[in-house]
Structure 1
C-alpha cells in the first residue's frame, strides 16, 4: 500500500523464456457433459476442442441419458478426443449395489463387447471402478489391518476385471484406481501391486473435489510422479476425471484457477457432474447458447504454441489470482488467461522476443463475466486496446484495473506494427447486489463459499429469497450518469416450475413486468434483460412480487450507446490450411490481419442474442466467402450482408482466393423482418396430435399429444418466397424427468422428433428439457426449401415429441 492509502496492483509475472511444453488443452473435459446426440449442440461443442468426456455405459441404469455410444457420434464429429466409460454406472443405485464380482464381470462382458464393436473403439477408455475408497471397499479406514484386508479384496477384483477386459479386447485402454481424492498410501500400494501383476492402467485417475485441491493438487501430482519413479514405472497419462465444486462451475474466475494448474502439469481433467447432463457441466445455456464459463473454455481452446511459466502473487491458494499463458512463435502471439480476484493487476510479461515482436506490442484485454449457469453471455467485451513499448529489459506491463473475482480476462499481445488500434468502446455500467438493497419479506442467504463449496455460486456469495409473499420486494438505489436507455440485467433463480414475474417500478412509477424463465432450482442462476429509460441522477428501482417466486442475486445496469458492433479478430479465429499472420498495421482491432489463400479458412464463433438477422461486414482487402448454416455467400469489401443467426453461438467460416482479413464485424441488434411465422393453430394434426391452449406459448397454444405412433403427425405448410437454404426455428417445451434417486443429480430427459421437408429423408431433432412444461425455448435447424408451398412435418413414431408452439422460417441470406 502506498502512502496515500491506495493498494498497489497485484503483480502477475509471465516469463516467456521458460517453456512448460506444448499446449495440451487437457483440462476442458466434462463428466456427463453430453446428454444426447445434439445436447449440447454442435455449434457450442466443436469450438471447445474437448479432449475427453466421461459417460456411462450404453444402457446403464445410473442416469436416463448420457450413454457413451449414443453420444459418441456427436462428440467425434465435433473433434472430441477420448470417451471414458464409467463402467460401474451400469448399476441403478447410488452408491452402487454390490451383487458380487461375478455379477459385475457379466456386466463387464457386455460393456466391453459394445465398445469393441464401435468403429472408433480405440478412442474409448474403460474405468472399471468409481471411488473404490468408499464404494464397495472402504479403503479409507485408519485401522491398518482393516485397510489391508479391504485393499487386498479391491486388488483381487481389479485384477479380475482388468484381465477380463483385456481378454475381450487386448487393445483396450483401462483407467484407475479412480479414488474420491488422492491418497498416497493406497496409490503406492496400488502401483506396486499393478506393476507386479502386470495390470497397470494405461491412464491413472483420481478426483479433486475439494476447495483444498486448489492448494494441494501440485503436491498430489508430484507425490504420484515420485511413486512412479521409485517403482521404475514410465510416466503414465494422468486424468483427474472429476474436478471442481458446484460453486466453481460456470464461473470464469473460478475455472481459471483449476484449469491453470492442470494445464501447467499437462494432465487431463473433467469437470464434475453435480446437476444435469448435457450442458458441459454448467457452461451451456439451453442447447446452444454460451454463458461466461463457455467463453472462458473457448479462450482456453484458442491457446496455441507452448505454455510458459506464470508466477501469481499467491501460488496454490484457493480463490486468488491465478493464470496460464502461452507463446506461439509461428503466429507471433502471446495469450494470458487470468482471474480469481478483485482489484487491480499488472500483468508483467518478461522475455518478449523483439526479433518476433519488434520494439512495441499491441495489448488487447477482454472480459468474460459470470452470467449464471443459465444466463446467456454475449461475445466477451474488449475493455482495452493499447500500444505498449517493450522495455529495455524485454518486458511489457499490461495494466488491468477494476478486475472482478468471478470474471476471467484474456490478454493478447501481438507485434505493434504501424498506426493505432481503435479505442475500446466500454459503456458505463454498474452492479448492485440484491443483499445490499432495502428488502421487504425476503431473506439474505449465504452460499457458494469455501465453507459451502458445493452450494451454488452467487455474486457476492449472497442472494435474497424466497421472495414469494404478496409484499415481497427489493428497493435498489442506483445512480446513472446521464439521460438515456439502460440495459437492466437481473441474475436470478426461479424454481417455481413455471415462468415467474416481478413488477419493476422506477421511483414508484410503472410498473413494467419482468419475466423470469424457469431455472433448475431457486439457486441455479439465470439472467434476464430489459431496457429501462432513466434520467441522469439517483433513482430507486423496485422489484416487487408478481406471479410465482424468484430469488434475486445481482442487478447490472449498462448504458446503451450507438448500435453495437462486435469485431471478431481474424488472427484469433480457428484456422484450417496454412494462412499467414500480418501485423504490419495495428488498425481496427489491433491484432493484425490473417492472410487467406486458396485452401485456407478461418472459423469464427459469432454470438446472437436471439433468432433473427444480423448485419455482417468482413474487414478484408478483397472479396471473401462466408459459410453459415450450409449457405455459402460472397462478401465484397465494405458491402454488408444480412444473414440469419440462431440464438447463441453460430460457426461462420471465411475463405478467400487471396485476402487479408482483419475482422468479421457483426451488428448486435437483430431483426426478424422477413421471417415467416406459423403458429400451432396452422398445423394439420393427425394420429392423436391435438391443439391445446398454453398461456405461456407464443400464439397462446401448442401442438400436444404428438408422437407415439406412425400416424401421429403435425404438418405445417410453409410458403417460401424462393428456393434455397433456410433456417427453421422450432418453439417448443417439455419437462420429462426420471428420478433415479440419485443424491444430487437432476435427471432430466430429452424428447426427439423426426423432421421431414417435402418428400425428403427425415432428420432426427433432439429437444432438451426446458425445466418446465410452460417454458418455451427455440431450436434451429438448416433446411432446403423450394419456392412455393413446402410440407414441413414433425413425427415421432416411438415416443412423445415436444409440445410445439410455433415454427419460424428465415432465409439464411436475406436478399435486398
Structure 2
C-alpha cells in the first residue's frame, strides 16, 4: 500500500508530481453525470439493490422491450429496479430491436413499425418522462456509412440519413409528443457530420434534446476536450442553445473495473458537465465490469461509490499533464454546508503532492484533518473490501491558505480519495496499515507457460492486466509459476491471487511453499482467461525469503499477480458517519477529530445516515455505533436499538449491505464493523433434505457441498422443492440460497457474452411467493449465493422453491440466519 503522510522510507529520486486543487474556483454543482453504463442492468435484481442504489446512477442505456440484440436488459423491465434505487433516466437503444450486429439493414420501411411499437410502449409507461429515445446507433458506420472520405458519397449517404432521421423523429413525436430524442449518436466524433446535422435539424425543427456520440478509443483521454470544445463552438455558430450532452458509450475494456483508469475518464466528463455511460464490452448486469456477481463490490465499484459521495460544487483541478493518456488526473468537490472537500485522483504510479489552494479558515479553521484511502484494482470479478484508510493526519493550513497532502508509492491502477474536514480538537486515530507486497506473474520463474501482453494503449480493447502482462498457457502437466517472496516476520499472511479460468468448471492449482507438501486451490470459473477474478487463501510463513509455487492441477488457470498481506486478527472497518448518505437535515460537528478524524454527524428525529457496509461472506458480524446516545439500525427490513459502544451481532450478506441509522438525538461518529462472517447459530439444509415434486430431481455432483444438488426445478407449476425449516425464534431471517446455472443465448455477437439469469418463486408457509433473481454463475458447477429476507414463525416453516413458467437455478443448499443474532 502507498505510504502517506508522511512518506514511508526514503524519498523518491524523482521529484513528486503535483496535482493542484483550487477550492475557490467552482465549476458548478456536482452532476455525477459520468457514472452511467450501457446494459449495466440485466434483470430486476442484477445488480442487486444494495449494489445499485449507492452509485446514484444518472443515466443508463438499455434495449427496447423485446429487443432481439441481447437476451435481457429490456429498458421497461429493468426500469423498475433502476427507478426504485434512485436512478435518473434510461436511454432506449431503439435499433437493438434487431438481432444482428451490425444491425441488419432491411430499410426504413422495415424499421418504422418497430419504431411505432417502441414509442407506444414507452409512452404508456407511468415513468415515460424518464426515458430518452435513441433512434440510431453509430450511423457513421452502420446503415449510412457517414464516415466515408469521398465527399460526393458522403453527401449522398448524409442526405439519406437526414431523411430517415426526420421521418423517425416525427414518427416518435406523433406517438409521444413529449418525447426526448437523442442523437445522432456516432461511433466517434465527426465535425463534418455534426456541422451539417445541426444545420439540418434546426432548419427542419428536428433537433435532438440530447446530443450523443461515443468516445471509445484510448485517444479519447487526449482528444475529448477538443471534441467538446469544437461541438460547443458548432452550436454557437449555428445559433443553437447548448444541448445536454451524453457520451453514451465510453472507455475500453482495459479501463473498466480499473479505478486508476476510470478516474481519468470521469474527471474529464464531470469537469465539462456532460453525462456519460460506460461501454458494454462483455456481460450485462454488472455495471460494465464494476459489480462482482450481483452484490459484491470490486475496486471499480468503490471508485464510483466515492464519486457518488461528492457533494456541493466541483472545483478546478490542475493535473501535471492535461488531456494526456494514462497520466495522473483528478476531480474535486467542495461542500460549504458540510464543510468538506474531497479529491479523487489516480492513473499514475509513484509519488504525488496534492496541493489544495484557498482552504478557507472561516470554513475549516486553522487545521484540517486529511483522510487518505485507496481503492485498488481487484479485477473485473475480484471482490474488494471497504477501501483501506492509509492515513488520518491533522495538517495546519498555511498562511496562504494552502494544504499539501503527500502521497507516496501510489499504484497506477488504484484511485485515491482525500477528504479534508475541519481539524477541531483531539488527534485522529492512526490507521493500522498492514505490511503488503505484490509480485507479478510475468516476473516470476515460469515453467511451461507463456507471457502475454494485455490492455496496453495500442491494444486498448484488450483486458486489463496488472503491469499489462499475465501468464497463460499453463496447460502442461509440468506447468508452474515460482514466485520468490520475502516477508518481514513470522506469521500468517493473506495471499490474493489474480487469475482467470475459462475451463467451464472449477479449476485447481497446487500451492506449495519451499517445495513442501502441496495444497489444492480451487478457482471458480470466470468469463474468459483474462476476465480477472481473485482467489484469497492464507499461508504461514517465517521471516525471510520463500518460494511460492502455483502448479497445474485440474483444468487450466491463467495468473496475473499475487499479493501478500500480513494477516490481522479479524477484518474490521470504521465507516465515517460524516461521509455516509443522509436523509433529512443532519448537522456536521467537527469540534473533535478523535477516532475516524472526520467529526460526527448529528442526527435528530427525521434524519438518517445510510452506510455501505462490506461483508466478505454471508454470516454474522459485530456492529458497533460510535455515538453519543442510542441509535436505531435498520438492515434487511429489521430495526434494532443500538447502545453506543456495545456490539450488535448482525447478519450481513456477502458484498454490500445498506445499514440505516436513525436517532431522536445522537452525535454519530462511525459505524464499526468487525468479523469474518461467522455461521455459528445459522440454520443449514442440504438439497437432499428437501421434498421434491414434479420433475424436480436430486442430481449427483462432485462440486456440490454434500455431493448432490436439486436440479430440473421449475418449468412447471408442479415442479417444486420444499424445505422444512425449524426456526428457534420468530422474526426476520436472511435466506441464503447456494445455487448454480449457466443459461446463455449465443447469438453470435462479436464480443458480448449473452448470459441469462434465472428466477425462482420463494414461498414461506402460506404467504405470497416472492420472486428472486439468480445471475449466471459462468458454469453449472460453480455455486454462488443470493440472500433473501424472509419472516419465519417459531418452529417448523415450509420454504418452497418453484417457477411455473421457466427453469429455476440448481440449488445446492440453503442457510438461514436471524438478522439480529
Scaled by the length of structure 1, the TM-score of the pair is 0.99
1:672-706 C-alpha deviation (Å, 9 max, x unpaired): 00010000000000010010011111222100011
Secondary structure of the 1:708 match is strand
Aligned pair partner of 1:256 in 241, 263, 276: 263
Instruction: Determine the structure 1 residue equivalent to 2:560.
Output: 553
Secondary structure of the 1:698 match is coil
Aligned pair partner of 2:386 in 366, 374, 379: 379
In the alignment, structure 1 segments of 5+ residues that lack a partner are: none
Instruction: Determine the structure 1 residue equivalent to 2:5.
Output: none
Distance in 2 of aligned mates of 1:781 and 1:636: 27
Distance in 2 of aligned mates of 1:597 and 1:501: 54
1:106 equivalenced with 2:106 (yes/no): no
1:623-655 C-alpha deviation (Å, 9 max, x unpaired): 000000011000011211000000000000000
1:761 equivalenced with 2:768 (yes/no): yes
Q: Is the 8 A contact 2:617 2:676 kept in 1?
A: no
Instruction: Determine the structure 2 residue equivalent to 1:408.
Output: 415
Instruction: Determine the structure 2 residue equivalent to 1:634.
Output: 641
Secondary structure of the 1:378 match is coil
Q: Is the 8 A contact 2:620 2:675 kept in 1?
A: no
1:81-118 C-alpha deviation (Å, 9 max, x unpaired): 00000000000111101111111010000000110110
Distance in 1 of aligned mates of 2:266 and 2:387: 19
Aligned residue-pair number: 812
Aligned pair partner of 2:487 in 462, 471, 480: 480
Q: CA RMSD in A?
A: 0.8
Q: Is the 8 A contact 2:47 2:285 kept in 1?
A: yes
Secondary structure of the 1:230 match is helix
1:268 equivalenced with 2:256 (yes/no): no
* Cα deviation, residue 523, structure 1: 0.6
1:59 equivalenced with 2:66 (yes/no): yes
Aligned pair partner of 2:459 in 452, 459, 484: 452
* Cα deviation, residue 67, structure 1: 0.4
The residue correspondences of 1:194-213 to structure 2 (distance < 5 A) are 194-213=201-220
1:624 equivalenced with 2:631 (yes/no): yes
Instruction: Determine the structure 2 residue equivalent to 1:333.
Output: 340
* Cα deviation, residue 468, structure 1: 1.3
* Cα deviation, residue 410, structure 1: 0.2
Distance in 1 of aligned mates of 2:556 and 2:796: 45
Secondary structure of the 1:431 match is strand
1:784 equivalenced with 2:763 (yes/no): no
Instruction: Determine the structure 2 residue equivalent to 1:139.
Output: 146
1:396 equivalenced with 2:403 (yes/no): yes
Secondary structure of the 1:460 match is helix
> 4+ residue runs of structure 1 moved beyond 6 angstroms?
none
In the alignment, structure 2 segments of 5+ residues that lack a partner are: 1-9
1:745 equivalenced with 2:752 (yes/no): yes
Instruction: Determine the structure 1 residue equivalent to 2:357.
Output: 350
Instruction: Determine the structure 2 residue equivalent to 1:40.
Output: 47
* Cα deviation, residue 561, structure 1: 2.4
1:442 equivalenced with 2:435 (yes/no): no
Aligned pair partner of 1:172 in 166, 179, 184: 179
1:380-437 C-alpha deviation (Å, 9 max, x unpaired): 0000111100001100000111000000000000000001000011000000000000
* Cα deviation, residue 541, structure 1: 0.4
Q: Is the 8 A contact 1:279 1:285 kept in 2?
A: yes
The residue correspondences of 1:445-594 to structure 2 (distance < 5 A) are 445-594=452-601
Secondary structure of the 1:509 match is coil
1:39-64 C-alpha deviation (Å, 9 max, x unpaired): 11000000000000000000000000
Distance in 2 of aligned mates of 1:5 and 1:237: 44
1:10 equivalenced with 2:9 (yes/no): no
Instruction: Determine the structure 2 residue equivalent to 1:237.
Output: 244
1:752-790 C-alpha deviation (Å, 9 max, x unpaired): 110000000000111000000000000001000000000
Secondary structure of the 2:173 match is helix
The residue correspondences of 1:652-667 to structure 2 (distance < 5 A) are 652-667=659-674
Scaled by the length of structure 2, the TM-score of the pair is 0.98
1:567-616 C-alpha deviation (Å, 9 max, x unpaired): 00000000000000000000000000000000000000000000000000
Distance in 2 of aligned mates of 1:72 and 1:408: 30
Q: Is the 8 A contact 2:12 2:351 kept in 1?
A: no
1:714 equivalenced with 2:714 (yes/no): no
Distance in 1 of aligned mates of 2:744 and 2:569: 44
Distance in 1 of aligned mates of 2:677 and 2:44: 29
1:288 equivalenced with 2:288 (yes/no): no
1:279-303 C-alpha deviation (Å, 9 max, x unpaired): 0000000110000000000000000
* Cα deviation, residue 565, structure 1: 2.0
Distance in 2 of aligned mates of 1:228 and 1:207: 18
Secondary structure of the 1:273 match is coil
Secondary structure of the 2:804 match is coil
Secondary structure of the 1:670 match is strand
1:804 equivalenced with 2:799 (yes/no): no
* Cα deviation, residue 5, structure 1: 7.8
Distance in 2 of aligned mates of 1:240 and 1:735: 33
Q: Is the 8 A contact 1:95 1:135 kept in 2?
A: yes
Secondary structure of the 1:95 match is coil
Q: Is the 8 A contact 2:497 2:534 kept in 1?
A: yes
Instruction: Determine the structure 2 residue equivalent to 1:734.
Output: 741
* Cα deviation, residue 562, structure 1: 3.3
1:600 equivalenced with 2:607 (yes/no): yes
Instruction: Determine the structure 1 residue equivalent to 2:6.
Output: none
Q: Is the 8 A contact 1:680 1:702 kept in 2?
A: yes
Distance in 2 of aligned mates of 1:331 and 1:432: 41
Instruction: Determine the structure 2 residue equivalent to 1:307.
Output: 314
Aligned pair partner of 2:189 in 167, 182, 186: 182
Distance in 2 of aligned mates of 1:168 and 1:564: 56
* Cα deviation, residue 563, structure 1: 2.8
Secondary structure of the 1:789 match is strand
Distance in 1 of aligned mates of 2:415 and 2:32: 17
Instruction: Determine the structure 2 residue equivalent to 1:323.
Output: 330
* Cα deviation, residue 670, structure 1: 2.1
Distance in 1 of aligned mates of 2:129 and 2:46: 24
Distance in 1 of aligned mates of 2:635 and 2:576: 18
* Cα deviation, residue 669, structure 1: 2.1
Q: Is the 8 A contact 1:566 1:668 kept in 2?
A: no
Distance in 2 of aligned mates of 1:751 and 1:400: 46
Distance in 2 of aligned mates of 1:223 and 1:215: 14
* Cα deviation, residue 155, structure 1: 0.1
Secondary structure of the 1:780 match is strand
Secondary structure of the 1:710 match is strand
Distance in 2 of aligned mates of 1:98 and 1:394: 61
Instruction: Determine the structure 2 residue equivalent to 1:75.
Output: 82
The residue correspondences of 1:92-103 to structure 2 (distance < 5 A) are 92-103=99-110
Distance in 2 of aligned mates of 1:484 and 1:495: 34
* Cα deviation, residue 4, structure 1: 9.5
